[in-house]
Amino acid sequence: MRSLFKFHGGIHPATNKAQSNHKPIAQAALPSRLVIPLHQHVGNSAKPIVKAGQHVLKGQIIGAPEGHVSSAVHAPTSGLIAAIDMQPVAHPSGIPDLCITLIPDGHDEWSAREPCADWKALSHTDLRHRLRDAGVVGLGGAVFPSDMKLYSHKHQIKTLVLNGAECEPYITCDDLLMRERAAEILQGAEIMRALLYAEEVLIGIEDNKPEAIAAMRSAVLEGRHERMEVISVPTVYPGGGAKQLIRVLTGIEVAAGVRSTNLGVQCFNVGTAYSTWRAIRHGEALISRIVTVTGHVGQPQNFEALIGTPMDELVAQAGPLPDTRGYIMGGPMMGIRLPSAEVGVIKATNCLIAMSDSLFPPALPALPCIRCTRCVDVCPAELQPQELFWFAQSKNLLKAQEYHLFDCIECGACSYVCPSNIPLVEYYRFAKSEIWAQETSKKAADAARERHEYRELRIEREKQEKADKLAAKEKAALEAKALKSAAPLPPAVEGANVSLCDAPVDADPENTMQLKIQAAIDHAKQQAAVSKPENTEHLTPQQQAEIATIEARRARIRELALSSADEHTKE
């Protein structure tokens, strides 16, 4: 028996998993339309590479990854691209984002896939490219592009942790995935292990999922996976947080601001391992995922839903009930309220909870903090939530940062136990995004300052150069004059100016400049006189009006040019 470690704090909310975990994963019906956001992952938005009206095949790339950290977006089924426009998306702001709307044609016809029977024959770079092109991102909720996490300088990563803890109440999608598709998850883990050069694979599953643990264990035996262990961990929220699970399994404490990879551990969700396998072995892009539909519905169940499936069409298959008050995407602790039920399923949608007043009573009004420090006792990040609240509330952002605001994983354990019903996490989220915004504008201001100072410097330098040139010329002129007065013959030749405008030989530089400009203007006038407009007969009134406006604009520009020329001469 492996000895496990503990993390600080944690709570034991009612798990509410039994409602949805007794039925197998169902294939969701093909929806009437798919609304696929182009920004479903961390990093740059994908760039649409299809046009409205175009027919696409299942698995075809419709959004290409752009930049370093980005991921591809695919057509989840064959059909017609109806629109590429701004649509409401599953984001707490309710602000629309660029989406591709696809109307399925019902044939579900695959595009050419590139399966690979022996992935070991592929180079690591090739594997990572395939993952990026298949749009594989972290399915545990962080949606970070997986290829970016699968780098390792040989032997730096010792342990690959597969996260099957699924600690949040209500959610059972990973549970069912592990029960039904254990072998494929483990194959995916083997690919990850190879890419990371990791020695061992530890799979952490909370002990309230005995079926999943059994299924995974027998898959390890059947697949003869070596140095791979399925570990049952105690059920305590938030035991599925990456830092917390790493702590429990390996005893490694990932300190503030340190990446677990620096300590030799990399962590992936079991769903990501499964998608990795499908992408590499079968050449299937990430076009669907398992979604738990639960809460206030008749038949809570897990569905394999296409990305982009409108949430209401998905809920319709689980028996929606009257007086549903809204939907939560994710779990009740860390999830977000959906701005609308019509938004499409995205890669981060692990769970959809229908809310009713009996399941989720409206929040009680908050009371002032009584400094009972219950929140301190449960905080898994070992923070001082009541202090963070104090600083966030008074917008003392600097202090909040000093108290390690950014170590907060927004797990909500503190709000859960707070006897004063303070929505603590909302204050932390507010403070974090405020700090990010300030940092962005500070960076912009610094860049602007630098550019401005450089510009001033440049102008100064140009002025200096001009003055130097002028001085040199003056000196030359003076010398020439002196020479002339000394010996009147032969006449000095004074630069190109002479031939241009027949200036008196002893013109001072200011004067020559003026003459030069005058000559240029005369020249332009001559040109204008010579080039008479042609085809001016038989014009429609419209054409005439057009010509008139153009002439007016020309006149204005000429005026301006003259005035700026005047300015030049004054200088």
Partner 1 sequence: MFSALLVMAAIAIALGAVLGFAAIKFHVEGNPLVEKIDAVLPQTQCGQCGYPGCKPYATAIAEGVADINLCPPGGEEGIHKLADLLGVDFKPFGGDTAPKPKAVAFIDENNCIGCTLCIQACPVDAIVGAAKQMHTIIAAECTGCELCVAPCPVDCIDMVAIEENISNWKWKYPVYPLRPAA
The residue ranges that bind partner 1 (CB under 8 A) are 39, 89, 91-93, 95, 97, 363-368, 395, 422-423, 426-427, 429-430, 432-434, 436-437, 440-441, 444-449, 451-452, 454-455, 553, 556-557, 560
Question: For ligand SF4, which is the closer residue by CB, 99 or 411?
Answer: 411
| Element at 481 (helix H, strand E) | helix 424-486
| Element at 217 (helix H, strand E) | helix 210-222
Instruction: State the residue for tokens 């592929």.
Output: 122
Least Å from the CB of residue 244 to ligand SF4: 10
Amino acid (1-letter code) at residue 360: F
Torsion angles phi and psi, residue 25, rounded to 5: -65, 130
Cα–Cα distances in angstroms (integers) from residue 291 to residues 88, 331, 428, in the given order: 20, 12, 28
Least Å from the CB of residue 381 to ligand SF4: 4
Instruction: State the residue for tokens 């009134």.
Output: 541
Partner from ligand SF4, partner 1, none binding residue 433, C-beta < 5-8 Å depending on class: partner 1
Give the sign of the dihedral formed by CA 525, CA 529, CA 533, CA 538. Answer: positive
Question: For ligand SF4, which is the closer residue by CB, 370 or 555?
Answer: 370
Who contacts 137 (Cβ-Cβ below 8 Å, separation ≥6)?
A: 40, 41, 42, 71, 143, 144, 145, 146, 272, 286, 347
Cα–Cα distances in angstroms (integers) from residue 154 to residues 161, 197, 350, 365, 523, in the given order: 17, 6, 33, 54, 73
Least Å from the CB of residue 331 to partner 1: 19
Cα 518 to chain centroid, rounded: 58
Question: For ligand SF4, which is the closer residue by CB, 314 or 379?
Answer: 379
Question: For partner 1, which is the closer residue by CB, 478 or 560?
Answer: 560
Partner from ligand SF4, partner 1, none binding residue 411, C-beta < 5-8 Å depending on class: ligand SF4
Binding site for ligand SF4 (CB under 6 A): 369-375, 378-381, 383, 385-386, 388-389, 408-414, 417-420, 422, 424-425
Least Å from the CB of residue 466 to partner 1: 15
Partner from partner 1, ligand SF4, none binding residue 280, C-beta < 5-8 Å depending on class: none
Using only C-alpha atoms, the chain has a radius of gyration, in whole angstroms, of: 35
* Cis peptide bond upstream of 24, omega within 30: no
> Torsion angle, CA of 207/212/216/219, rounded to 10 degrees?
150
Torsion angles phi and psi, residue 436, rounded to 5: -60, -45
Partner from ligand SF4, partner 1, none binding residue 515, C-beta < 5-8 Å depending on class: none
Instruction: State the residue for tokens 């008479």.
Output: 532
Least Å from the CB of residue 137 to partner 1: 17
Return the half-sphere exposure (C-beta side, CA atoms, 13 A cut-off) of residue 482: 6
Torsion angles phi and psi, residue 100, rounded to 5: -110, 125
Least Å from the CB of residue 321 to ligand SF4: 31
Question: For ligand SF4, which is the closer residue by CB, 370 or 520?
Answer: 370
Nearest Cα residue to 405 out of 422, 423, 430 = 430
Residue 238 is given by DSSP the state T
**CB-CB contact of 288 with 177 (8 Å):** no
Question: For ligand SF4, which is the closer residue by CB, 105 or 434?
Answer: 434
Partner from partner 1, ligand SF4, none binding residue 246, C-beta < 5-8 Å depending on class: none
* Cis peptide bond upstream of 322, omega within 30: no
Partner from ligand SF4, partner 1, none binding residue 346, C-beta < 5-8 Å depending on class: none
Least Å from the CB of residue 256 to ligand SF4: 12
Instruction: State the residue for tokens 């969700």.
Output: 269
Q: Distance (Å, rounded) from C-alpha 175 to C-alpha 17?
A: 10
Question: For ligand SF4, which is the closer residue by CB, 165 or 409?
Answer: 409
Least Å from the CB of residue 238 to ligand SF4: 7
Question: For ligand SF4, which is the closer residue by CB, 447 or 467?
Answer: 447
Question: For partner 1, which is the closer residue by CB, 400 or 503?
Answer: 400
Least Å from the CB of residue 10 to ligand SF4: 9
Partner from ligand SF4, partner 1, none binding residue 91, C-beta < 5-8 Å depending on class: partner 1
Partner from ligand SF4, partner 1, none binding residue 324, C-beta < 5-8 Å depending on class: none
Question: For ligand SF4, which is the closer residue by CB, 370 or 528?
Answer: 370
Question: For partner 1, which is the closer residue by CB, 364 or 529?
Answer: 364
Least Å from the CB of residue 398 to ligand SF4: 18
Question: For ligand SF4, which is the closer residue by CB, 122 or 334?
Answer: 334
**Distance between terminal CA atoms of the chain?**
89
Torsion angles phi and psi, residue 554, rounded to 5: -60, -45
For Cα atoms 77, 83, 86, give the angle at the middle one, nearest 5 degrees: 115
Least Å from the CB of residue 554 to partner 1: 10
